[in-house]
Amino acid sequence: MAQRRTRRAFGGLRKLPSGRWQANYTGPDGAIHKAPSTFDSKLDAEAWLADRRREIDRDLWNPATADNRTCPLFGDYADEWLETRTIRGRPLKTRTHDHYRELLDRHLIPEFGDSPLDAITPAMVRQWHAHLLPNKATMRAHAYSLMRTIMNSAVGAEYIDANPCRVEGAGSAQRKSRTTPATVEELATIVENMPERLRLMVQLAAWCALRYGELIELRRKDVDLVGGTVAVTRAAVRRADGQYVVTTPKSEAGVRVVHMPPHVIPLAEEHLETHVGRGRDALLFEAGNGGYLTPTSLYRWYYPARRAAGRDDLRFHDLRHTGAVLAALTGATLAELQQRLGHSTVSAAMRYQHAAKGRDKKIAEALSKLIEGQDK
């Protein structure tokens, strides 16, 4: 809906898309002064302007108190925004909340915290962004995107008229390198060089494309050896203070049942028999102290194992990428990949299908073999 302005002998009125009214006037000092808040009706806005006109006529107008500013400071507004932010009606995930908190405390509030929202200009944002994390493109994009999102909320709350975050392309970062999935042979080498109690963890990360947080929260009750499945209904996330909390998987689609490839099922059975406690809630991959397995403890073994496979570049999360590409190579559809990986949208699944298209040469070679068979 277009914003409507009303011309008046004194002051101006504007009807906002929300249906509320905004009022402003030019004071004796030559500056434009806005009402400290919006109004339910045009009549209320006109009454506010009439009061300001009487103050001016009676020489009661004071430039120091003219605006009676109620626009909150960025720091206060950002803090409240973070604690009340929801996505599809649900609170932020623990890891997302902590990530936003870190970005605010390190990069946004030190720069803008003491500024009223309506005092932050596009020039201020451009200058801030120009010097922001020059060697960390991804974090730089995250910080800018958070700033833009918060200011969008301020526009919606009618504290500001327009978002001052207008740096084109600043909210995205180009990936410096593409992930190269592991081959089946490389996976086998990595597994062989892991301690026995962690070999199944690598297998499930790769062949079932499970996330790290999903893996460390798996319990005996989640594994069905008869059906050959793993139920993914929870994830463990490490907070900034080092404590773990149990939450749902990354997205709603992350709650899923994943079938293990037949060659993994005997390994799962052996692992349950040898390395897992008897209780239904016993963790599959327990740390030495009985708690959750930390990345540091895992990497102590994983890094030498990947080195033995000649893959120093392969992050543990890349095993999930490997599993996704392997699934795509079997001819899995987008919907099937989306379900297996626990993605809410098809965009990520499409990446793995594109990666699988590297098999086209192999397919062409196989087609030629059909002709060769007829020529004999």
What interhelical angle do 295-308 and 196-207 show, nearest 10? 80
- pLDDT tier for residue 3 given thresholds of 50, 70 and 90: very low
When pLDDT is averaged across residues 238-242 and rounded to a whole number, the result is 80
Structural domain containing residue 247: 184-359
Catalytic residues, which ones?
211, 317, 320, 343, 352
Assess contact for 160 and 151: CB atoms under 8 A: yes
**Using one digit for the tens of pLDDT, what is the confidence trace for 292-334?**
999 999 999 999 999 999 999 999 999 988 888 888 777 777 7
- pLDDT tier for residue 108 given thresholds of 50, 70 and 90: very high
Same domain, yes or no, for 127 and 250? no
Same domain, yes or no, for 318 and 276? yes
What interhelical angle do 184-192 and 318-329 show, nearest 10? 140
DSSP code for 368? H
Residues linked to residue 5 through DSSP beta bridges, in sequence order: 14
Same domain, yes or no, for 304 and 353? yes
Lowest mean per-residue pLDDT among 17-21, 314-318, 360-364: 360-364
110 token code pair? 């030190």
For 24, phi then psi, to 5°, come to -155, 165
Q: Is residue 64 part of a domain?
A: no
pLDDT at 10 exceeding the cut of 70: yes
Whichever domain contains 230, its CATH number is 1.10.443.10
pLDDT at 220 exceeding the cut of 80: yes
The sheet with strand 32-34 has its strands ordered as 4-7, 12-15, 21-26, 32-34
Same domain, yes or no, for 26 and 115? no
pLDDT at 20 exceeding the cut of 80: no
* Alpha-carbon gap, residue 97 to 100, rounded angstroms: 5
Average pLDDT over the chain, rounded to an integer? 84
Q: Which of 153, 144, 106, 149 is nearest to 125 (CA)?
A: 144
Same domain, yes or no, for 53 and 85? no
Q: Which of 277, 274, 370, 355 is nearest to 320 (CA)?
A: 355
1, amino acid identity = M
Lowest mean per-residue pLDDT among 72-86, 131-145, 228-242, 334-348: 334-348
Exposed (0-12), middle (13-18) or buried (19+): which is 335, by Cβ within 10 Å? exposed
Helices (H) then strands (E): counts for the chain: 15, 11
315 token code pair? 């992050």
Contacts of 130 (CB under 8 A, 6+ apart): none
Same domain, yes or no, for 333 and 308? yes
Same domain, yes or no, for 207 and 345? yes
* Alpha-carbon gap, residue 222 to 230, rounded angstroms: 6
**Using one digit for the tens of pLDDT, what is the confidence trace for 75-106?**
889 988 998 888 777 788 888 888 999 999 99
Where residue 257 falls (left for φ over 0; alpha for ψ -120 to 50; beta otherwise) is beta
Same domain, yes or no, for 210 and 253? yes
Distance of CA 38 to the CA centre of its chain: 33
pLDDT at 166 exceeding the cut of 50: yes
